[in-house]
Amino acid sequence: MRGLLITLEGPDGSGKTTQAEALVAYLRQKGLQVVMTREPGGTAISEQIRNILLDKQNQMMDNMTEALLYAASRAQHVAEVIQPALEEGKIVVCDRFLDSSIVYQGIARGLGLEAVQKINEFAVRGCMPDITFLLKIPPRAGLERKYNQGNRDRLESESIDFHEQVYQGYQILEAKEPERIKGIDAGKAPEEVHLEIIRWVEKKLKERGKS
Ligand code: TYD
C-alpha cells in the first residue's frame, strides 16, 4: 500500500524543522518506517540547485528562473526519493514542498498562483501530500527568530513586505484546501504544537490502517 506524504509549511522561522524532527522521532518510536527530507534539497542534484537558489550573490535571478529552479529541484526529489519511498509503503516527512512555491513564487513574487501550481503539478506528476501542517507565525516574529540564528540567505534577506505576502499567501491556501492543510498556531510552546500534529497524524494513520 502507498505510504503517507506529510509536509510541513510556514514562513521562515516558524519552527518547521524542529517539528519535523519531533514528528519523525515519534513515528519511528512506533516502529514505522520514515524518510525525513526537505526542500529545496533532499538529493545531491537538488542540493546543488538549492545552493544556486539561496546564494546571496544571485541578486540578478529572474522570478521565473527562481520558480523553475524550485520546481526542477522538486522534480528530482520526487523521482529519486519521495515516490520510491511511498511505493515501498513508507512515511515521508518533508520540510517544505510545493505549497512553498505557490506561496513564495506564485503569491509573494507575483507570478500567479495558477501558473506556479501548473509548473509544480508537472514537476510532482501526481505526487501530492496526504496532509500538510501549516505553522502560522506573523512575519516579524518569525524573522526575529531567524535573525537571532545568524546568517540570512537570499530569501530571508527579502523585505518585511515580501514576508507579509508569504504569510497572507499561506492563509489563502489554508482556506482553499482545509481538508489537506491544517493550520497550527506556531506561537504556542513547541510541545503543544507537536501534540496537535500528532493528533492529526494519528487520525490519518487510522484511516490508512497503519495504527
Ligand atoms: P529553508 O532554508 O529550508 O528555510 P526554512 O528553514 O525557513 O524552511 O528554505 C529556503 C528558502 O526557500 C525559504 O526562505 C523559503 C524558500 N522557498 C521558496 O521560495 N520556494 C520553494 O518552493 C521552497 C521549497 C522554498
Give pLDDT tens digits for 20-47: 999 999 999 999 999 999 999 999 999 9
CA atoms of 144 and 85, how far apart (whole Å): 36
Q: In the chain, which ranges are continuous DSSP H helix?
A: 16-29, 44-54, 63-77, 83-87, 98-101, 113-124, 139-148, 160-176, 190-207
Cα distances from 143 to residues 95, 149, 151, in angstroms, run 18, 10, 12
Per-residue pLDDT, 16: 94
- CB 70 near ligand 1, within 6 Å: yes
Give the end-to-end CA distance of the chain in Å, rounded to a whole number. Answer: 14
- What is the tens place of the pLDDT at every residue in 161-173? 899 999 999 999 9
Is the separation of the CB atoms in 7 and 181 below 8 Å?
no
What's the average model confidence in pLDDT over 181-207?
97
Position in ligand 1 atom list of the atom nearest CA 38: 3
Per-residue pLDDT, 167: 94
Q: How far is the CA of 209 from the centre of ligand 1 (A)?
A: 33
- CB 158 near ligand 1, within 6 Å: no
Per-residue pLDDT, 211: 67
Task: Tell me the pLDDT band of 150, cut-offs 50, 70 and 90.
Answer: confident
The tally of CA atoms less than 13 A away on the side-chain side of residue 18 is 13
